[in-house]
Structure formats: C-alpha cells, structure tokens
A and B are shown apart, each in its own frame.
Chain A
Amino acid sequence: MLRIDNLHVAVGDKKVLNGLTLAVPTGEVHAIMGPNGSGKSTLAYVLAGRPGYEVTQGSVTLDGRDLLALEPQERAHEGVFLGFQYPVEIPGVNNVYLLKAALNAMRRHRGLSEVDAFEFLGLVREKMRLMRMDESFLSRGVNEGFSGGEKKRNEILQMLVLEPKLALLDETDSGLDIDALKVVAGGVNTLRCAERSIVLVTHYQRLLDYIVPDHVHVLVRGRIARSGDRTLALELEKRGYDWVTEAA
C-alpha cells in the first residue's frame, strides 16, 4: 500500500505540492486528475525520486518502507515504476540491453538468479506481441527516433517486463491516437491484480474509458481537492475543472 501523508514539495522557490495526503491500497487503480500546473507530474516524479524536487514536509511509504529515504534505483528495486510522460531518448544504449539490465537488477534485489538470454528473449517477445511492437525495436537505441506512440508503448513494455508493485503512469495517454491508446490500456489492464497498485496521472477522462479506476482524485494547487469514483471523471469531462478549482 502506498501512503502519502501531508506531502509538501518545492521546486526551487516554487511550492508545488502543499500538504497532499493520499492512500492507494494494494490491488487498486487510482486516477489523479487536475488542471495544468496542479502538481500531477511533480507527484509522479517525487515518488520516483527525480532530483530537483525538495520535500519540505510529509512522508511517503510503500508497504511501510520510507520511499523518500531511497535513491531512485532503490525505489525501483522496491517495486516503484514510473512511466514517463516524455520518455528519454538514449542513442547508443539499446533497448534489449536496458530491459535485461533492469530486469536482472530487480531479480538480484529479490534474491533471484539472473535470467538467461534464451528465457529473457522469450519473455520479451511475448510482451512485445501484447504491445504490438516490432521485433526490430529490440536492437534500436532506447526510444531513439521512436514516435510518440512508440515511446509510450515502450514504457508499458518495460513495466510488463519489470512487474512493479507500484506503477505510476504519467500522462501515458498523451499523444496517442485511439488505436495506440487501446493497446497501451490493454497492456496496463493485464497488470491489474491484487498484488499491485496503479496510479494513473491524466489530464483527460478518455484513458479512464479503457482503464477503469477504482478511485478518482482531483489535484488543485498541490492538494487533493476532491475524490470520488469514476463518475467524478465523467463529471469533470462535462463540466471542466473550474467548479472544483473554485470550491478548493
């Protein structure tokens, strides 16, 4: 279970999160919505440990473990996965190497043996079929020259291979056409299970047609202004964010 308690975060002089409190029980899917600049992406980055975000107050735990005390790679080992809004291109490091290195890093942490090349390729091919990705992608540089949709699919592929405890998906739907959105949502849905929490950060309701959340939260000026079930997302779609912003 992810527990965020009274979290305050500043980026430089700017306060972005102002006392955010949220609990995501294991096995649930929560959607974080909100207008531009409300702190949605900051929340995702802070949970993953990106440098440059200063936590001034509050706590974050995953299954009782203090996440804020951990380095980004240690959080990954604990089962945190961030699907980036803008996945980074790394020419010269190939996809298959990154996937394998990441998987083996997790396995080492869990006291498991490293996967052999044969077993690994079998696993990756199966996940790639699910994400409708071409085999040629394996030998390409990480996200190098990928279209927006390919990058997002690649994020989900990594998530499927790494099987995190906590998946944070930051605007995974942005830049996707409807077919790609269905593929991406399908990938996420295969990971829904009783042992995993999923946090979807999104601006639009559209994604939630395909990944139906258990709870929806609206972030305004760095705090949860309203929570509800999926009908809250539908209401936001109809009425916009103003009524929540004004009430907050």
Chain B
Amino acid sequence: MSAPLATRIAEEFAAAAGSLAPDSQRSRAIDALTARGLPSSRDENWKYVNLRSLEKVRFATAGAAPDLAITADQLPPQIQGYARYTFVDGVLAPALSASAAPPGIVVRSMRSSGSAPGNGALQSEGDLRFALLSEAFATDGAAIHVAADAQCPGCIELVFVASTEATRGASYPRIDLKVAPGARIGLIERHISVGSEANFINSLASVEIGRDSSVQHYRLQQVGARAVCFDTLRATLAQSSKYQLYSVNLGAQSARSTVHVQLAGANAEVGLFNASVASRTQVHDTFQLVEHIAPNTRTEQIFRGISAGRARVACNGKIVVRKDASGTDSRQSLRGLLAGADAEIDVRPQLEIYTDDVRCSHGATAGKLDDNMLFYLLSRGLDRATAMALLKWAFLEDVVARIEVPELRRQIEASLAGQLNETNALQGALQELL
C-alpha cells in the first residue's frame, strides 16, 4: 500500500474516533496497520487483486443506522431450520433477525453486548492486514457461542447486506464463532448487496473449534457487480475437531478471500471446498493457508474456478507442516477452467514441510474445456451451448455436490447457472440433477 493511503486511513480513524466506542484494541489495530501498511500489488500473495479500488473508499462506516430500509423480500429465501440474523452494512437489523437462537447456541450483537469486536488479528503471524482494518473500524458483528455437546447441524444463518456507496462508508461484517467441545453445528454466511452501489466490504471471521466438535460453514459471496469485497477468516481447531468450509464466490467486481486455518490439536481435520465463477472483468482471488501444527492432522482442499470474459480467477493454496505435525495427510486439488479467450486463471498449490512422515499430494490444472468430452456430447446430438454449459457445470460439481443442505444447494445451483449465464441451457440439467 502506498504511504498516503495508510496516512489517510489513520486520519479517518482519528476523525471517526469520537463516534466509535473507546477501545484500546482499535487504537492498537490502527497503529499496527499504520506500521505495516496494507498490501500492495507488489506483494506476491496480493498481486491478483485490484487494490487501487481502495483509493476511493471512505473507511469509516456510514453511520449507526443504515438509511436504506431493507425488507425481508430483498433477502434470499430462508433455509428451513436455520435461525437467520441479518446485518446491514455490518450492523444488526433486529427486525430481520430471529428473536431466539436454537438451544445451546447464544448469538449476540457485538455492539449491544459491549464486547469489543476485535480479537486475534493483532497476535497472529499470518498476513491478516485487512483484519486490522476491520478491528479498527467495525462497530458490530455476530458473536456466536455454542455450548458443549450442543447438537445443531442446521443452525445459524448470517446474512450480511451491503447497501452503502464506498465513497460514503464501508461495511465491516464480523463473525466471532466459539464452539465448545463435543458440539456439532451448521453455519450459513451470506454476503449480498441491495441496490447497485459500489460497496466496500471488508469482513472478518474468527472461528475457534473445541475438542471433538464439528462445524460445517457455508459461505456464499454474491455481492453486487460493482462491489469490492475483502474477507479474512481465521480458524483454530482443537484436538479431533472437524471444520468444513464451503465457499462459493460469484459476485463483486473484485473479491479477495484470505483464509488461515491452524490445526492445533492432534487428529484435527479441515476441508476447504471452493467454487469461484467470474465473468466480465471480475477478479476473484482466494488465498488459503493451512498450518498443520499437531500430529495426525488432515487437510482436503478443492478449488474449482471458472473464468469467462476478461475475468481473472486465482487460487493460492498453501500447506505448512510444522515440525511436530508428523502423520499429516493433506490433499490439494486446484483446477481452473478458461471459458474465454481473454480470461485468466492462476492456481498455485504450495507446500512447506518441516517434518518427515507426512503424506501431501497436490494437483493443479488450468485449461479449456476438454475437446474429447465436448465432441462426445455433440456426437449424441446435444447442441453446442448445452454441451458447453453441461461441462462447466460438471466441473463445479466436485465442490457443489458436497453441499449437504439440499435447499441451500438448490439455491447455489440456481445462482451458479445464472452466473454462468446459462440458466436456459442448464434448465433441463438442473431439474435432472436435483
């Protein structure tokens, strides 16, 4: 980041400090951010995302009360069994939120509970600089506590709605999920926009999973076509816990997702399943770092990205195996599909191993639709548009088929077909596949 941007952020923070709840953590975050600066496109891990868009952003939030009245019918259909909480520009909208969480779960607004949104990013070693930005400016968020042994496989849905133009203010969605031992929960996290403003969204999620617990976390990014969207997710897994993160990226002009998972307890297991579909001049950049710290920990990472038009889709999957993490088993499969002559795909698996006795496999491919498959379908009489749509669809199935909530899967499939701009061609396939 250029120095003037860092200076401007610090100045905006100073100007907004009066309206922000006094909090030494915020000050520490802004100090750390000023010292380190935001990333620049010269940083190896940040070269794909469009950071210039930050120049026009007003980093403070637009204000306490979103001035746009959002109604329930502007939100995606609710998924049965999930208690919905809606945040508009990062602030809880009680009228669009459940009054009570399922048994064993406590969901609090960070603002009303008085708890500081910040935690974690200051101490972490990873590249979480956008997390610092969130810690400095965020005013609300969802603090979710799951009691020991709570069984809630379908559970909480968080809908983050962005409505403000970036020049007027930023949106800072926040999630702080703490899962006590022996629990099982499902979390849906959606990011959408209302209106056609060019939003600036910078979300931060912190996930702590206790021993023997299991979390299924679905993230669906469908913000507006002009929005710029950054997210940082940090997860720590205790012994024998399991975390499955399903990320579907469809929206935004430019979206960067940074995930850092620490497998801190023995036998912990993470699955990272990503689908990203970009067209026009969209940029989708996914960076996922998994640290194997304890023995016998497992990672499965799958990425399927389709880039059409002049879009750019990138995925950098990095596995680090620390010296005590013997018995590590990691599998990475990162694949990109070019669906336009001017489209770009960059997939990069990386391994850093500091111990013996590990099994790490990785595969990465980027290419066009398979000519043999295409000819096979054409030779059966399918028209070209349908055949190509089907093959793109099939490419994403490695990720989509894993979504275990049928209603959510149907919604995601419909959204994917829309983003592929092939709803008509796929209509029959959708009915058949569902």
- A residues within 8 Å of B by Cβ? 48-51, 71-73, 75-77, 81-82, 84, 87-88, 90-94, 96-98, 100-102, 104-106, 109, 141-142, 158, 162
Contacts and interface: CB of A to CB of B under 8 A. Distances in A.
Contacts of B372: 88
Given A109-B381, A162-B381, A87 B376 contact: yes
B382 interface: yes
B198 to A, nearest CB: 35
Contact of B433 (A77, A94, A102): A94
Nearest to A164: B381
A82 B380 CA distance: 8
Given A90-B394, A92-B397, A101 B386 contact: yes
Contacts of B378: 49, 71-73, 76
Contacts of B391: 90, 93
A82 B432 contact: no
28 contacts: A50-B375, A71-B384, A73-B378, A73-B379, A73-B383, A73-B384, A76-B378, A76-B379, A76-B380, A77-B381, A82-B379, A88-B370, A90-B394, A91-B394, A92-B394, A92-B396, A92-B401, A93-B393, A93-B394, A98-B377, A98-B382, A101-B380, A101-B386, A101-B429, A102-B382, A106-B381, A142-B376, A162-B380
Nearest to B395: A92
A97 B397 contact: no
A84 B401 CA distance: 28
Contacts of A81: 379
Interface of B: 370-373, 375-384, 386-387, 390-391, 393-398, 401, 428-429, 432-433
Nearest to B372: A88
B158 to A, nearest CB: 30
Contacts of B370: 88
Contacts of B371: 51
Contacts of B380: 76, 98, 101-102, 105, 158, 162
Given A93-B394, A97-B429, A97-B432, A88 B376 contact: yes
Contacts of A87: 376
B277 to A, nearest CB: 15
B376 A101 contact: no
A114 B397 CA distance: 27
Contact of B373 (A50, A90, A158): A90
B73 to A, nearest CB: 33
B382 A97 contact: no
Given A51-B371, A91-B394, A92-B397, A105 B377 contact: no
Nearest to A97: B432
A5 B355 CA distance: 68
Contacts of A141: 394
A92 B398 contact: yes
Given A94-B432, A104-B428, A105-B380, 15 more contacts: A50-B375, A50-B379, A51-B371, A71-B384, A73-B387, A76-B378, A76-B381, A81-B379, A88-B375, A90-B377, A92-B394, A92-B395, A92-B396, A92-B401, A98-B380
A101 B398 contact: no
Contacts of B397: 91-92
A135 B377 CA distance: 22
Nearest to B386: A101
Contacts of A51: 371, 375
A75 B378 CA distance: 9
A72 B375 contact: yes
A142 B394 CA distance: 11
Nearest to B400: A92
A71 B384 CA distance: 10
A14 B393 CA distance: 36
Contacts of B393: 92-93
B256 to A, nearest CB: 28
Given A92-B398, A93-B394, A100-B432, A73 B373 contact: no
A168 to B, nearest CB: 10
Given A92-B395, A92-B398, A101 B382 contact: yes
B433 A97 contact: yes
Nearest to B428: A101
Contacts of B390: 93, 97, 101
A97 B397 CA distance: 15
B176 to A, nearest CB: 37
Contacts of B432: 94, 96-97, 100
Contacts of A88: 370, 372-373, 375-376
Contacts of A106: 381
B207 to A, nearest CB: 30
Contacts of A71: 378, 384
A50 B398 CA distance: 28
A94 B430 CA distance: 11
Contacts of A90: 373, 376-377, 391, 394
Contacts of A102: 380-382
A96 B398 CA distance: 19
B422 to A, nearest CB: 14
A92 B394 CA distance: 4
B102 to A, nearest CB: 34
A142 B396 CA distance: 16
Contact of B428 (A48, A73, A97, A158): A97
Contacts of B386: 101
B381 A105 contact: yes
Contacts of A48: 379
A184 to B, nearest CB: 18
A59 B387 CA distance: 28
Nearest to A90: B373
